[in-house]
A = this chain, B = another copy of it.
Amino acid sequence: MKQMLLLVALVATMLPLWSQTEQKPRRQRMDWFESVKSPEVKANGDVTFRLFAPQAKEVTVNGQWGPAAPMEWDDDEQVWKATVHPTVADIYPYNFVVDGQAVNDPANKDLFPNELFKGSLLLMPNPEMLYTERDIPHGKVHYCTYYSSVLKELRTMLVYTPADYDLKARLRYPVLYLVSGTTDTEETWYKAGRTNFILDNLIHDGQAEKMIVVMPYGNMNTGNPRPSSSAATECYEIFSQEMEQCVMPYVETNFRTQADRRYRAIAGFSRGGGEALYTAFKLSDRFSAVCAYAAYLTDEVYAERFGHLVNNPEKMNSLFHLIWFGVGSDDFLHDPVKQNEALFTQKGIRHEAFDTTGGHTWMNARKYLGITAKKLFKK
C-alpha cells in the first residue's frame, strides 16, 4: 500500500504538465524518468546525449563544439542517442532539434539562460579552465530587485561578492560592471559565464584583486531589436542612463563599494560590450577602465558623441588605465572590432588588443573575463 501510494505520488508529481496530452503508456515514461542520463561525460572526453522522443522522426544534437550530430534511436535504451568528442573540454550551450523544433535537454537541469534559445549547458570537467569549481572559499551571487525609474519597471540585477565579503564587515571593494549580450538575460554571465567561479579562483590564487561584480540586464526594452546603428546607439544611451540613475546608485547603497572612479570598471560581451564602451566614455568621470569582449562602437558614434575624447588622446590616456578589446578570428564582429582598434591606434589612444581563435561564443567570453579580471584595480 505504501509502495503503491508513493508510486502514484511520483508519477503524478511528474506528469501534471503534460499528462493531458500523454500518448505513450505511463510505464514507458517511468522508465524514461528512471534511466535517462544526459549528457554523460566520460573520462576520455566522450560525451553521450540521450533523448526520449519515441514519436520523433529525426533528431540532432547541436552545440558549439562542432557541427550538429545526428542522433540515432537505440532500441535497447529506448532513447535517441549520439556521442561526440569536443576537442577542448569546456562549457558548451547545446540543444536538440526534434523534427525541426529546437528543445533543451529534459534530463539536464543546467539551462542556458536566454530570451530566445532554449538551450542546455554541457559542463565538462577541466582543471585547466578557470570556471572549475574547487573546494576553496566561494563568493556569493545576489539576485537584487530594484525599480528602474528610467524603464518604469521592476528589474533584477545579479551581484557577485567575494568569499570574504561577509566576514570583513568594514572592507570596501572595487566594482566591475559586467553586461551581457543580445538575447542574453541578467543570469547569463552567472550561469553560462560562471563569473563567480572564475573570480573565486583568480582571487584565491592571488591573480585578481578582490572585487564586486555587478551583472545588470542589458536589454533596454527598446522594442523589437531590428538592427540599425541608430537603434543600437539609442539602446546604448538608455543603458547609460539606467546605469547612472538606477544600477550604480543601488549598488553603492546596498554594497560596500569603493565609490571612486579608480575603482570602477565596466565590461561586456557583444551588445553588452557596446553598452560598456558607450557608458564608460559618456560617464568618463565615473569609470577608469573598460573592456569590450567581441564588441565595438562605430567611427560615427565616436565622432558624433565622443569627439571631445577621441580627438584628445592625452585626456583619454589619463582617464583610462585600461581600454581592452578581445575578439576571436572567426567572430562575425572580428572586422569592426579591429576597425575600432585601428581608430584608437591612429588617434594615439592607449589600448590593449587580445586575439584568439573561435567565434562569438561563451567559451571565448569566459576567456576574456579571466584575462581582464587579472588586469583590473591593480595597486
Interface residues of A (CB under 8 A from B): 2-3, 5-10, 12-14, 16-18, 20-21, 23, 33-35, 53-56, 60, 62-64, 67-68, 93-95, 97-104, 106-107, 109, 111, 113-119, 133, 135, 138-147, 154, 166, 169, 181-183, 185, 190, 196, 200, 224-229, 232, 254-255, 270-271, 298, 300, 332-333, 336, 359-361
Contact = CB atoms under 8 A, between A and B. Distances in A.
A144 to B, nearest CB: 5
A6 B133 contact: no
B118 A62 contact: no
B142 A95 contact: no
A100 B55 CA distance: 6
Nearest to A254: B166
Contact of A94 (B17, B101, B102, B103): B17
Given A55-B99, A106-B118, A332 B9 contact: yes
B13 A145 contact: no
B101 A6 contact: no
B10 A227 contact: yes
A143 to B, nearest CB: 4
A12 B228 contact: no
17 contacts: A3-B228, A14-B182, A16-B64, A16-B93, A18-B97, A18-B102, A20-B60, A20-B67, A21-B97, A33-B224, A54-B100, A56-B100, A99-B101, A107-B116, A109-B115, A135-B147, A142-B142
B361 A16 contact: yes
A283 B185 CA distance: 41
Nearest to A169: B169
A297 to B, nearest CB: 11
Contacts of A54: 100
B225 A18 contact: no
Given A7-B227, A13-B270, A34-B226, A53 B101 contact: yes
Nearest to A16: B64
A328 to B, nearest CB: 12
B20 A62 contact: yes
Contacts of A361: 16
Nearest to A362: B16
A125 B218 CA distance: 24
Given A109-B115, A133-B145, A227-B10, A100 B332 contact: no
B138 A141 contact: no
Contacts of A196: 143, 145
Given A3-B227, A16-B359, A101 B102 contact: no
Contact of A2 (B2, B183, B229): B229
Nearest to A95: B17
B133 A118 contact: no
B182 A10 contact: yes
A17 B103 contact: no
Nearest to A70: B21
A97 to B, nearest CB: 5
Contact of A185 (B34, B109, B147): B109
Contacts of A60: 20-21
A5 B101 contact: no
Name which of A138, A145, A185 has the most chain B CB atoms within 10 A of its CB: A145
Name which of A118, A196, A271 has the most chain B CB atoms within 10 A of its CB: A118
A140 B141 CA distance: 10
A301 B106 CA distance: 33
B114 A109 contact: yes
Given A20-B67, A21-B68, A98-B101, A6 B142 contact: no
